[in-house]
Amino acid sequence: MAQVAIAGAAGRMGRALMAAAQGRSDLAITVALEAPAHPALSQDAGILAGFGPLGLPLVDDLAAQLQRFAVLIEFTRPEPTLAHLALCRQHGKAMVIGTTGLDAAQRATVAAAARDIPIVLSPNMSVGVNLTLKLLEMAARVLGDTVDIEIIEAHHRHKVDAPSGTALRMGEVIASTLGRDLKTCAVYGREGQTGARDRRTIGFETIRAGDIVGDHTVLFAGEGERLEITHRATSRENFAQGALRAAAWLAGRPPGLYDMADVLGL
């Protein structure tokens, strides 16, 4: 049974992970981590997650918990993620990283650490989203340069990065399939006299409103027809279940940089 630590355990995803882990036979949550000075420190993680006491208080020092976990699940911000990554790399702990908003240099740091420890890095742990990525690859391969491609995503008002990591990953999959570089072909919103659309661009539109968990639609629009591939999340449980599945899969793996396609055998 894999011993798992959860970073950001008092947050929305942290609470969902705590709840989803209950009753599993392949892993156990043994560390619930939060930021220093967090108001919930020392409170029981199970009570915070809404299902009853676990005898697992929230702590703020991961280094003091190294003997208590084998895999760290990280859904926080880039800065604490990289700090925890350095600690896990030094001490041979595996990581599941769902943190979004990592820039190119930070992603390179994760890739370098994966030479020493096993890491699953994915902007979206949902099984459905990762199946959607395969469908997008198929659609892009078949439709090629005959369509205009737009990615529309919507999330809750508290999300701090845009476009979402999932939307960007969708763009990367499509661009790679079409032999394009997303860095040069992405268009993030439009305003004013933009001129006719360049078919080789990939457009992104972002919505932030209310309590939307996560909606993603990719539009392949041609002459006379269009194809829309949509994934909608109605709760965070699907992300939590995917992350826990990744943590159980990762335990005992050799060092390397993996994604959810590896976990799911896609």
What is the three-class DSSP state of 246?
Answer: helix
Spell out the alpha helix ranges (H) of the chain.
12-21, 45-49, 78-91, 104-113, 127-143, 165-177, 182-185, 237-250, 260-264
Closest to 97 in 3D by CA, of 230, 38, 46, 83: 83
Amino acid at 262: D
d(CA 246, CA 230): 23
d(CA 139, CA 238): 24
Per DSSP bridges, beta strands 214-221 and 58-59 are unpaired
Residues involved in catalysis: 155, 159
Neighbours of 137 (CB within 10 A): 16
Amino acid at 65: Q
Q: Residue 228, exposed/middle/buried by CB under 10 A (0-12, 13-18, 19+)?
A: exposed
d(CA 204, CA 218): 9
DSSP letter at 162? S
